[in-house]
Structure 1
């Protein structure tokens, strides 16, 4: 029997916000500065179709890649002296996504606009902000990369598209022990020395650093082509993981001539920037640059180092895409870890923690 007023009250409990697919509240690499010239560039970044272009004053802008009139991708349009013009009916948009001209029509509806993203170019790297609902506006500056602006190095780079999830690229870059097996023609070297290199791994809640030393090594082909080594060399590999990019400093000095812990050591340097940006859950953009310090014939040696680096990354791409295809083929049977996986595993833990923080 129900007593009036005694009915139990039902309360609606809000479901927890879903965990985002990728870490948010981060700056991700959207392009290398020299890739944005006289044409708009369309890319999907973190599942979001984006068009990138330069405004008349040379600044970088990023808009949703969809015209608000009939939905043509704006990346199919053209740039003129005032902004980005849609390739279907000529609507003209400025860098804020506002329509500033409709051909043949004086009145521009207030709704004639396209969502804009926060984007910033720094040290010739174009960064785009993907924020959570709590931080739609950037709460920090994009990372600096002084290697591009210090004047100590010369560099170049490119972008690869991977048919594989972005964290498989992280795994590959965090573990350079594979060089002796995958990159015999370029930056490899003795596989046993790579696998047994002295290794130190340090981490905090956002970064992982892996340091590897290989004294008494035979210099690999890329090193020999770029620097006048006398004989054996002492090699180093310093890998610094951040959520949206990695910085890898590798190189060598003539054996027993300098301390590998000296931050100002000489010898042959290769400083790599690796912007790893998810396209979707299963595809990725890999923006890379390589900087070096030739002693002579600067342009010729830079060209050689860039060519050899591109060859190296093409070798990596074959391995990673084949790895992912096999993972899809076999499903999820358990995989074992070995000693070289420490850095990559810590990087994956950071990614997982940051995904949950941005709910």
Structure 2
């Protein structure tokens, strides 16, 4: 677990005093452990340009992605003994954002530093804290996700970039009724069953939970490719929305063999982690992993699940970006809600209240 110390400059404090477009005082997903492989990683999160790298001790560091000399992104530079060297004039910065070397110059100005952000590495997920002026330091640890570390599942994941606002991804993930229309070749299934699935929605001030059951339904392509079902299936979908991420547990058992409400049920499982982090007001990063429980040929089955998951996300990305482009084209034309919008609307209200 890694935590850096946030040392805001005066300009950072001024910036932090402005009203944010996004909820603050929480951890957001910044990336995955395996992404830091020897080069600086530049990424814009919540309108902050940030560079990530590993310090000399192997801990994750996050700095403002701007050299204080002539403003080149530090992510254009190189790593050297756990510090990042600017690719323009060679200034070297440590994990706290302090310049520790200027080539050809012995004296280092005290103002030669950049802001450092609090980061925490947990269960292969890199989290970054965005706080307001009153809470620049984390008020608690980053979320745990032991699906990655328990040893019960095999998993993999990646990152998507969306040219659409982050809440549109929330809408999509909280309303899985679209599966029968958008995902015909992967996780879809019978559209009528999806639209009429038994659904329960619960919420509080910071989260939304959706549970859906689809009994005696035909298994979709992803399921049959990964698990030896005998015929029709009893299927479940459990979704937990949190402001910075969603957890989705889906799966199925052979029809009538087990209760889909049993927390220890067997069958085929897909446990998805979905970190939805705004880049700007009109773009976002989608950090995802998918974990599964293969019953035979574990690695080959996992690869099938990951391949099918990526095809699914490709389908979603095409829909969401086309949807947002059309919203831009038609302006503020009103939209009509239907029964499947209960959970997405509750999530939007939570964010509105936090802002």
If the length of structure 1 is used for normalisation, what is the TM-score?
0.93
* Matching of residues 1-359 of structure 1 within 5 Å: 19-355=19-355
Question: Does the CA-based 8 Å contact 2:57-2:82 persist in structure 1?
Answer: no
Cα distance in 2, alignment partners of residues 57 and 82 from structure 1: 7
Q: Return 5+ residue gaps in structure 2 as ranges.
A: 1-16
Check the 8 A contact 2:186/2:311 in 1, yes or no: yes
Task: Name 1:5's counterpart in structure 2.
Answer: none
Specify the alignment match of 1:3 in structure 2: none
Q: Distance in 1 between matches of 2:58 and 2:37?
A: 9
Q: Which residue of 2 aligns with 1:10?
A: none
**Which structure has the bigger radius of gyration?**
1
> TM (normalized to structure 2)?
0.94
Whole-angstrom CA distance in 2 between matches of 1:211 and 1:82? 45
**Which whole-Å deviations, capped at 9, do the CAs of 1:287-326 have from their partners, x for residues lacking one?**
0000000011111011110010001001000000000000
Residue 173 of structure 1 aligns to a residue in which SS?
helix
Distance 2:316 2:55 in 1: 36
Give the Cα separation in 2 of the matches to 1:333 and 1:104. Answer: 60
Task: Provide closer, same or farther for how the CA distance between residues 186 and 165 of structure 1 changes in structure 2, counting only shifts above 3 A.
Answer: same
Q: Secondary structure at the match of 1:326?
A: helix
Secondary structure, counterpart of 1:276 in structure 2 = strand
Q: Give the superposition deviation at 1:18.
A: 5.9
Mapped to 2, the partners of 1:309 and 1:80 lie a distance apart of 37
In 1, the alpha carbon distance for the partners of 2:260 and 2:341 equals 23
Query: 3-state SS of the aligned residue for 2:301?
Result: helix
Show the counterpart of 1:6: none
Q: Alpha-carbon deviation of 1:82?
A: 3.6
Q: Secondary structure at the match of 1:317?
A: helix
Aligned partners of 2:92 and 2:20: how far apart in 1?
34
CA distance in 2, matches of 1:36, 1:311: 25
State the 1:19 CA deviation: 4.1
User: 2 CA distance for matches of 1:82 and 1:212?
Assistant: 47
Q: Cα–Cα, structure 1 residues 253 and 303, in superposed 2: closer, same or farther, change >3 Å?
A: same
Q: How much does 1:102 deviate?
A: 1.1
Which structure 1 residue ranges, 4+ long, deviate > 4 Å from structure 2? none
2 CA distance for matches of 1:18 and 1:101?
33
Aligned residue number for residue 12 of structure 1: none
Q: 1:19 to 1:82 in 2, by over 3 A?
A: closer
Taking the aligned partners of 1:312 and 1:57, their CA distance within structure 2 comes to 38
Aligned residue pairs, count: 339
Mapped partners of 1:32, 1:308: distance in 2:
21
* Residue-by-residue CA offset, 1:234-293 (whole Å, 9 max, x unaligned): 000000000000000000001111111111100000000000000000000000000000
CA drift of 1:20 comes to 2.2
CA distance in 2 between partners of 1:153 and 1:56 (Å):
31
Give distance in 1, aligned partners of 2:141 and 2:27.
8
The CA distance in 2 between the partners of 1:141 and 1:82, in whole Å, is 24
CA RMSD after TM alignment: 0.9
Corresponding residue of 2:14: none
Superimposed CA distance per residue, residues 161-212 of structure 1 (whole angstroms, 9 cap, x where no aligned partner): 0000000000000000000000011000000000000000000000000000
- CA offset digits 1:15-44 (Å, max 9, x no partner): xx8642100001000101111111111111
* Distance of 1:186 and 1:129 partners within structure 2: 35
Q: CA deviation at 1:228?
A: 0.6
Which structure 1 residue ranges, 5 or more long, are not aligned? 1-16
Secondary structure of the corresponding residue to residue 348 of structure 1: helix
Q: SS where residue 37 of structure 1 aligns? A: coil
